[in-house]
Amino acid sequence: MDSLNQTRVTEFVFLGLTDNRVLEMLFFMAFSAIYVLTLSGNILIIIATVFTPSLHTPMYFFLSNLSFIDICHSSITVPKMLEGLLLERKSISFDNCITQLFFLHLFACAEIFLLIIMAYDRYVAICTPLHYPNVMNMRVCIQLVFALWLGGTVHSLGQTFLTIRLPYCGPNIIDSYFCDVPLVIKLACTDTYLTGILIVTNSGTISLSCFLAVVTSYMVILVSLRKHSAEGRRKALSTCSAHFMVVALFIGPCIFIYTRPDTSFSIDKVVSVFYTVVTPLLNPFIYTLRNEEVKSAMKQLRQRQVFFMKSYT
């Protein structure tokens, strides 16, 4: 409580990606286009999954949840970043900073847990196909989704508590375009070594252990594929490779950032842009370009759209 009473800072100021106005305008146009594509691509996947009966399976149920999380995760940071690219002074209130931090970790952790669930789903489908309908029924899928949101909330509350318990009485410059625990605690007017250790124990361990779990599951899947037909191996490898690309693109940057909170590198901003802006866009493209069922569903949606447009003209 004393630490909370010592808080003096009422707002934080972002340094942003660059102080060059020309580059800021270029970044604004590029990231605006990426954000629009992210929203439209992920919304299309959700619509295709809901309105295509052949996609009413656990794998696509989880994929639609991934798209929803990607929309939320991108919307936590990108709009504020775009606003900052247009303004000379980029600031955020203390309360809004903590709110952004909370939801950033909520959606990031939920996505990591979902990627683990999706890897488990593929493991059961490929390694024990006869038991798959019973193991991954819709009731279990809903329970798993509820569990990932619960786990993400607990994780995010822990990260937020670690941040707000510290006193902030002086520096308020954040060398980034969004609020995150490692960036904010550097501004605390006290020793944050123990807090840094707790961050590594929490966020760093979750990121690293989940990545290793996914790698292990796919190693088991690769070994089991030797018993499948050539067509079965091709289809399984296509699905698993797409999923592993998403895992590597998202969890990789998280490991890079959260396993060393007290150390900063010049490339940190680039890595942050990649996992907060670029990765949510890549997910729908990776799954649609490498998945025939999703591409077929997209074509059906387009045909329906054309049909309805002709009907009303």
pLDDT of 172-198, one tens digit each? 999 999 999 888 998 998 888 888 888
Residues counted in the chain = 313
CA 276 to each of CA 20, 179, 279: distance values in angstroms, whole numbers, following the listed order? 22, 12, 7
* pTM attached to this predicted model: 0.87
Tell me the residue range of the domain where 243 lies: 11-308
Domain membership of residue 151 (yes or no) is yes
Q: What is the pLDDT of residue 4?
A: 46
Between the ranges 63-77, 229-243, 295-309, where is the mean pLDDT highest?
Answer: 63-77
Residue 17 maps to a domain: yes
Domain annotation covers residue 2: no
Place of tokens 């699905």: 239
Tell whether 158 is covered by a domain.
Answer: yes
Give per-residue pLDDT as tens, 120-135: 998 898 888 888 999 9
Q: Is residue 4 part of a domain?
A: no
Tens digit of pLDDT for each residue in 98-113? 999 999 999 999 999 9
Write down the pLDDT at residue 311: 60
Number of domains in the chain: 1
**Of the given ranges (71-80, 233-242, 273-282), which has the lowest mean pLDDT?**
233-242
The verdict on residue 124 lying in a domain is yes
CATH of the domain at 300: 1.20.1070.10
Q: How far is CA 245 from CA 16, 32, 105, 146, in A?
A: 28, 24, 21, 25
What angle is formed at CA 284 by the lines to CA 122 and CA 17, rounded to 5 degrees? 120
Give domain status of residue 66, yes or no: yes
222/246 Cα distance (integer angstroms)? 18
Cα–Cα distance between 39 and 70 in angstroms, integer? 9
Domain-embedded: residue 313:
no
Q: Are 65 and 93 in contact (CB under 8 A)?
A: no
User: Residue 49: is its pLDDT beyond 90?
Assistant: no
